[in-house]
Structure 1
């Protein structure tokens, strides 16, 4: 019984650690997500209407268009 509970706990932990495959964006430097982490910023949007989360060091300096 203890072995069964240990196996279930391990499977639950492993399912939480593997986030799955996310679509890449911004020259393969960003990831398409619904929410960005604290260390990421949104610069563009993906084709699937999610945000392209990119670390600030990979984003270009300045505006994306000259207005």
Structure 2
């Protein structure tokens, strides 16, 4: 029983220490990273100063200027 409790405590501690996925941004379509992959581009910056890497298909289309 003690071994089971020790194992559960260790797994709980490790789950808190090992970082999971990067922080999400841009309506949960992007990820905050130091560098973007080749298939992603920077649209905005995250609150932690990292770049919000978003795939181009999720970025808004630029509207043409109307004069």
TM-score range, shorter chain: 0.5 to 0.7
The DSSP-based 3-state class of the residue aligned with 2:39 is coil
Matched residues in 2 for 1:38 and 1:32: separation?
15
Q: Distance in 2 between matches of 1:29 and 1:22?
A: 12
Q: How do residues 54-65 of structure 1 correspond to structure 2 at under 5 angstroms?
A: 54-62=54-62
Gaps of 5+ in 1: 1-18
Could you say what secondary structure the match of 1:43 adopts?
Answer: strand
- Residue 52 (structure 1) shift: 0.1
Larger radius of gyration: 2
Moved over 6 A (4+): none
- The TM-score with structure 2 as length reference comes to 0.63
1:37 maps to: 37
Gaps of 5+ in 2: 1-18
Cα displacement (A) at 1:21:
2.2
How many residues align? The count is 45
